[in-house]
Structure 1
Amino acid sequence: MASLLTTGLIHSPHLSLRTHRFTLLSCSTDSPTPPIGRKLIKHSKLSIDSSPKIKVVDYAPLIESLNRRRLPDEAHQVFIQMKSDNLLPNYRTLSTLMLCFAQNGSVPRARAIWEEILNSSFVPDLVVISKLISAYEQISCFSEVSKIARDISARHPKLLPVVSSLAICCFGKNGQLELMEDAINELDSKEISLDSATANAIIRYYSVFGSLEKMEQAYGRLKKPGIVIEEEEIRAVLLAYLKQRKFYRLREFCSDVGLGRRNLGNMLWNSVLLSYAADFKMKSLQREFIGMRGAGFSPDLTTFNIRALAFSRMALFWDLHLTLEHMRRLNIVPDLVTFGCVVDAYMDRRLARNLEFVYNRMNLDDSPVVLTDPLAFEVLGKGDFHLSSEAVLEFGQRRNWTYRKLIGVYLKKKLRKDQIFWNY
């Protein structure tokens, strides 16, 4: 059986699954046959002969094949057999073997290969390091990611900025803020500046997992070298302030970023208006709205809906009607939030009969849609009509819903709720 294997498969560079199982069976039944590592090596190709005694080999395709089959133990057998046969694996083989172990959860073996690469003349490349960090992230082994950053700092400092950025992003998006701070401090100790993308990402991670103080410190660190905070990070910061109702600090942040930044649209101005609307400071809300228009910004749907939500909660019908009229002049089409502000304002004051006066000025036959920035709902929430309509749209059978039909369903529901049924 062994002779058949060696003669029939010696020319095949890779081993099929059926052949692999057959080889395992022969190893278990025939004691003189060599171990699986030797057989797998025999069926692979040598790449380079460096000397008559020591041969540099490339078994990366074989290791990749075993990795695809989730056979890290067999890959380890190949590695042991290489050592015993005095075969020297090249960098490609070692890196593939290391990734095979890491991706299959065999951390000690992956760490041993990493140490061997560091102690050799090989310089780990960034592609392999990135894949290794990603593999450790998948199994939540963040201590190994920290070790990689420390080893690179000690052995290959030229790679440290990129590797540290990879490690910082790995820690940050998984909420490992202490490890992220250690990586940042390591860069600071070596006077290495963060790149723009990483500095922005740090702000985003602190806004999601950290405190406002840490988030503000990260923003201060970003401003020192003149790096511009990007839109995604600005939105994350605004959301953090809104969730904790820190409206004064939100307005300070918006002013510091610059309310005149055109590339952000109306996001900063709308956030300032939202901070006043949340506390129902109507005079300040109106003053900032005038200031927004004076700065050359045209109000959008979110701008008007922030004002409409505040007017609706305060039952300021005249201001609500002026808002709708202003929207008509600017050809801004109302969405479900706008209709909800009107319906809730009249229903809360039991003025449902007067809704028709407003209906005549709005297109009730449009298809329902929500186009308002979700930031507005963080502090003002969604009105009763808005929530009810979303439930109807999600679970309703008909697909041709209009605002007219949604309002009809809502009014029927409210009517049934107000009725009293007696059971005899």
Structure 2
Amino acid sequence: MEVIGSILSPLCPLGSPKPKHLRVRSQQNDSSNRALARKILRHWKQEVNQNTTTDCAALIQSLSRKNLPHVAQEIFLEMKSEGFPIDGSALSALMLCYADNNLFLEAQAIWDQILNSSFVPNIQIVSQLFDAYGRMGQFDEVIRILHQVSMRHSSLLPEIYLVALSFFGKQGQLEMMENTLRDMISRGFSIDSASANAFLMYYSIFGSLAEMETAYARLKRSRILIEEEGIRAVSLAYIKRKKFYSLGEFLRDVGLRRRNVGNLLWNLLLLSYAANFKMKSLQREFLRMVESGFNPDLTTFNIRSLAFSKMSLFWDLHVSLEHMKHEKVVPDLVTYGCVVDAYLDRRVGMNLDFALSKMNVHDSARVATDPVVFEVLGKGDFHSSSESFLEFKKWKNWTYRKLIATYLKKKCRSSQIFWNY
């Protein structure tokens, strides 16, 4: 068990002497809990010397983290009996202490006490209580709390509903999330843009494609704009199921000319063609992107470079690199990997120096490509190998030249081993 000093240390002022180490016996009972609580309280008074409810709540929270809910209860009762002013923060801390230690009957009793008192529940506390119930799968308790709040503190309902929607969504409880939304709307409350987009995200993660598309249609009817996180979530759902045609249709429906999400929509569209190596369509849509006034970014170029590299289209790859240079887009590890892998896969590594001559191989290595690209096209061999090199602490500044030299030695060694066998 942790010592009293470690419980009190966050509450003691800097420079104060450490309390003596008082250890807890493994077999806890009421008397030992009470005795330990009194010792902790005595040290707390001596060291902190601040009789405030804030300190009481902080002390209970510290005991909760040490898995000592019964000691926290005894301290709460001792402080109450000694006349310390106890408000909602101390009660809430004790309730969460019970809930976090799976003492839900005790937590429920404290919650009922808060509701029947003059204390107004704090939204953050309610959210933490939901999370505690969620860890044990007690979702019906969340519904019960919603009902209780609607009876006693109706002014809190709009915020509580949004917290409940987010809670059920994160837990994958889509039916409960739907029921909560219907109940919320029936009471005349509206859902905000952030929650509506989160609603769509939860369906993209936990629901079927049909359910996700229904949620998206509902979002459109409500005239709420789908934001970047929602676009990414829906796109990733299509990508994971390899529904690239549906992905393209979705992106066109959202509107490729939207400026507030940067190049995201165009990049995802290019990715949908690169996934099946539809090179003509990839080039056509790239030209449409430029004609529409969008400037290609690093991810845009790397989507094309990866496709060119895998298809061994050296001329197109070099033209793309020249275009990057013209647009002043700095290559990253993915770009270099496209060049290295293309030349080595076709066994023309002797020409690699020429290919890299127009690139600054002395730059520090970095990866700045949107990770969604790797969900579709994966990582090249040079990219994957270099990432493991970058984890070495021996060299803090890995340049592309160092990485390429190390990678070529590795390839040469593996080739020699192969031919020796």
Cα 1:182–1:335 shift into 2, 3 Å: same
Match of 1:332 among 320, 329, 332: 329
Question: Which structure 2 residue ranges, 5 or more long, are not aligned?
Answer: 1-18, 25-29, 42-51
Indicate if the aligned counterparts of 1:277 and 1:310 stay in contact, CA closer than 8 A.
Answer: yes
Change (3 A) 1:248 1:69: same
Residue aligned with 1:382, SS? coil
SS of equivalent to 2:391: helix
Q: Which residue of 2 aligns with 1:240?
A: 237
Please say if residues 312 and 341 of structure 1, whose CA atoms lie closer than 8 Å, have aligned partners that are also in contact: yes
Letter in 2 for 1:279: N
CA distance in 1, matches of 2:271, 2:263: 12
What is the aligned partner in structure 2 of residue 12 from structure 1? none
User: 1:263 aligns to what SS in structure 2?
Assistant: coil
Q: Distance in 2 between matches of 1:422 and 1:310?
A: 34
Q: Which of 347, 351, 354 lines up with 1:350 in the alignment?
A: 347
Which residue, 157, 175, 179 being the options, matches 1:178? 175
Look up the equivalent residue of 2:260 and give its one-letter code: N
Pick which of 270-279 and 202-211 moved more.
202-211
Moved more, 127-136 or 332-341: 127-136
TM-superposed deviation, 1:90: 7.2
> RMSD of aligned C-alpha atoms?
3.8
Q: Distance in 1 between matches of 2:340 and 2:80?
A: 78
Is structure 2 residue 386 aligned with structure 1 residue 389? Answer: yes
TM-aligned CA deviation for residue 310 of structure 1: 0.7
In structure 2, give the amino acid aligned to 1:330.
Answer: E
Residues in 2 aligned to 1:60 and 1:315: alpha-carbon distance in whole angstroms: 66
Specify whether residues 306 and 190 from structure 1 end up closer, same or farther in structure 2 by C-alpha distance, changes over 3 A only. Answer: same
Q: State the Cα deviation string for residues 254-304 of structure 1 (Å, max 9, x = none).
A: 222221221211111010001001111111111101110111001111111
C-alpha separation in 2, matches of 1:105 and 1:317: 62
- Note closer, same or farther for the CA distance 1:416–1:62 as it changes in structure 2 (3 Å cut): closer
Q: 1:154 to 1:408 in 2, by over 3 A?
A: same
- 1:403 paired with 2:397, answer no
1:268 aligns with 2:265: yes
Match of 1:360 in 2: 357
TM-score (norm 2): 0.77
The equivalent residue for 1:220 is 217
Larger radius of gyration: 1
Report the TM-score, using the length of structure 1 for normalisation.
0.77
Distance 1:183 1:17, change over 3 A: farther
Distance 2:355 2:404 in 1: 13
**Alignment-mate amino acid for residue 254 of structure 1:** L
SS in 2 for 1:353: helix
The structure-2 alpha-carbon separation of the partners of 1:72 and 1:389, relative to structure 1 and needing over 3 Å to count, comes to closer
Q: Is the 8 A contact 2:63 2:71 kept in 1?
A: no
Following superposition, the deviation at residue 107 of structure 1 comes to 0.7
Q: Helix, strand or coil: the match of 2:172? A: coil
Matches within 5 A, 1:185-334: 185-334=182-331
Distance 2:144 2:268 in 1: 42
Note closer, same or farther for the CA distance 1:202–1:123 as it changes in structure 2 (3 Å cut).
Answer: same
Q: Which of 110, 114, 120 is equivalent to 2:111?
A: 114
1:69 aligns with 2:91: no
Moved more, 161-170 or 216-225: 216-225
Distance 1:18 1:28, change over 3 A: farther
Q: State the identity %.
A: 55
For residue 374 of structure 1, report the CA deviation from its aligned partner: 1.0
Deviations for 1:168-193, whole angstroms, at most 9, x for unmatched residues?
A: 21222233333323322322443432
User: Helix, strand or coil: the match of 2:260?
Assistant: helix
Partner amino acid for 2:179? D
Deviation at 1:118, TM superposition (A): 4.1
| Deviations, residues 329-362 of structure 1 (Å, cap 9, x unaligned) | 1222221111111111111111112223212222
Partner letter of residue 286 of structure 2?
Answer: F
1:291 maps to a residue whose letter is: R
1:129 aligns with 2:123: no
Once the two structures are superposed, the pairs formed by residues 48-87 of structure 1 within 5 Å of their partners are 65-66=59-60, 68-70=62-64, 72-73=69-70
Letter in 2 for 1:146: I
Equivalent position of 1:341 in the other structure? 338
Which of 368, 373, 378 in structure 2 is aligned with 1:371?
A: 368
In 1, the alpha carbon distance for the partners of 2:322 and 2:178 equals 52
